[in-house]
């Protein structure tokens, strides 16, 4: 079959991130629950719902069950990274899961304190997503993380935490490859072959980018706002579940599909492991209409499959989004001629065989209320 033409990213120009007009400044956007909620009128029904969820989380924590929070990129862009990091450090959440855009916003906030560009204006100029530092450093972190056996989120988190990347020597990378080749094929483990393949990917990037071995300094002056940094500090998982081509890092010549795949695969399997411990636990899905329900249904089926088709039914799934509720899902699915039937996330979660409810709320209001309610749970427990 003849080779089809592929777009060559070497033809592209990339621009310094500092030249981009970024719409969100994280020191200004960062949500402090008490101050933020003072500016809002909170319906009593919403407060009751959040208090109920907080009580469920407290019970799950006492049982040692998973409390997984999946969210979309707007939670980061809306200034919730520091708040979510605090909940993670305190053990209220055992696992965070997000999409590729959430990682990008979190990294840009950590790196320069600003994120979010004008898509309309920059697409017209052919500049949307063509920012040198974002594309270079995140892609390089993923390639290095793939070689080191890290997941997607942990790879970028390690770069933020260390303020840079440890680029291995070419000799060391070649030794990794040669060691795998010399082994008897029967004895070569998946880990060994993956590490050798990742070494080759990294060698290719070092050649393409003319990178020298040693420590590549990447200062993150605003890392106190970073959720990835918080997850790295406390050693809890913040996994990333990207879709290829969805994020601006794919525009950069440093992008390596194999590195994305290896790190994202590890994150997905770590996520499945958390779902396997969800009996007696809580699953929050906040502002994620596609990623969260899609990975959840596969993970839940995998976990049940590995346990003989049993278990993981005593858990609460709480879905939060801005759309107004138009259907009572406790009574089953709507008919196909009802628009609510095509509300993918609720249709998916309603089929999982677990308790599920829907809350219409802004993610800032929801997480700020949840943080306060969980603090009350802590105070009550200590009395």
Length of the chain measured in residues: 383
Instruction: Say what the pLDDT of residue 184 is.
Output: 60
360 φ/ψ angles, rounded to the nearest 5 degrees? -90, 110
Report CA-CA distances (Å) from 341 to 334, 335, 353, 359.
5, 6, 17, 17
Q: Supply the DSSP symbol for 24.
A: E
Buried b (16+ CB within 10 A) or exposed e, 210-229: ebeeeebebebebbebbbbb
Beta strands 114-115; 24-25: pairing state: antiparallel
Task: Measure the CA–CA gap between 203 and 170, rounded to whole angstroms.
Answer: 7
> Closest Cα to residue 111, out of 165, 54, 167?
165
Return the residue matching tokens 């095509």: 342
H and E: helices and strands count for the chain: 16, 10
For residues 130 and 14, the answer to whether their CB atoms sit within 8 Å is yes
SS3 171: helix
- What is the DSSP secondary-structure string of 89-125? HTTS-SEEEE-HHHHHHHHHHHHHSEE---HHHHHHH
> Closest Cα to residue 107, out of 247, 283, 284, 268?
247
pLDDT tens by residue, the chain, 383 residues: 567 889 999 999 999 999 999 999 999 999 999 999 999 999 999 999 999 999 999 999 999 999 999 999 999 999 999 999 999 999 999 999 999 999 999 999 999 999 999 999 999 999 999 999 999 999 999 999 999 999 999 999 999 999 999 999 999 999 999 888 876 655 556 778 889 999 999 999 999 999 999 999 999 999 999 999 999 999 999 999 999 999 999 999 999 999 999 999 999 999 999 999 999 999 999 999 899 999 999 999 999 999 998 889 999 999 999 988 877 887 788 888 888 887 778 889 999 989 999 999 999 999 999 999 999 877 666 55
Task: Measure the CA–CA gap between 204 and 206, rounded to whole angstroms.
Answer: 5
Give 336: exposed, middle or buried? Use CB within 10 Å, 0-12, 13-18, 19+.
exposed
**Number of Cα atoms under 13 Å in the Cβ half of residue 114:** 11
């Amino acid at each position: 079959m003849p080779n089809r033409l592929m777009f060559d990213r070497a033809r592209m120009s990339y621009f310094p991130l500092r030249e981009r007009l970024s719409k969100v400044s994280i020191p200004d956007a960062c949500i402090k629950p008490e101050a933020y909620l003072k500016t809002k009128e909170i319906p009593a029904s919403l407060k009751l719902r959040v208090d109920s969820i907080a009580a469920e989380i407290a019970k799950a924590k006492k049982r040692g069950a998973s409390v997984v929070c999946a969210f979309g990129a707007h939670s980061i862009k809306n200034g919730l990274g520091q708040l979510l990091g605090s909940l993670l450090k305190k053990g209220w959440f055992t696992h965070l899961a997000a999409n590729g855009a959430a990682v990008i916003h979190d990294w840009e906030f950590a790196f320069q304190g600003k994120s979010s560009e004008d898509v309309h204006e920059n697409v017209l100029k052919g500049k949307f997503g063509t920012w040198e530092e974002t594309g270079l450093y995140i892609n390089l972190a993923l390639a290095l993380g793939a070689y080191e056996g890290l997941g997607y989120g942990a790879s970028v988190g390690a770069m933020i935490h260390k303020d840079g990347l440890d680029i291995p020597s070419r000799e060391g990378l070649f030794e990794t490859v040669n060691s795998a080749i010399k082994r008897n094929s029967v004895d070569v483990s998946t880990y060994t072959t993956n590490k050798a393949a990742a070494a080759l990917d990294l060698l290719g990037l070092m050649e393409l980018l003319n990178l020298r071995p040693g420590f590549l300094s990447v200062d993150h002056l605003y890392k106190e706002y970073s959720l990835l940094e918080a997850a790295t500090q406390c050693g809890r998982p913040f996994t990333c579940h990207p879709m290829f081509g969805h994020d601006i890092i794919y525009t950069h010549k440093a992008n390596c599909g194999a590195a994305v795949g290896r790190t994202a695969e590890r994150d997905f399997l770590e996520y499945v492991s958390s779902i396997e411990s969800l009996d007696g636990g809580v699953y929050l899905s906040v502002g994620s209409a596609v990623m969260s329900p899609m990975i959840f249904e596969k993970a839940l089926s995998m976990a049940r499959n590995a346990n003989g088709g049993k278990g993981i039914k005593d858990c609460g799934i709480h879905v939060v989004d801005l759309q107004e509720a138009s259907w009572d899902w406790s009574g089953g699915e709507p008919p196909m001629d009802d628009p609510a039937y095509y509300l993918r996330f609720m249709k998916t979660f309603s089929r999982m065989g677990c308790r599920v409810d829907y809350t219409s709320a802004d993610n800032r209001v929801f997480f700020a209320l949840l943080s306060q309610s969980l603090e009350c749970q802590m105070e009550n427990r200590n009395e």
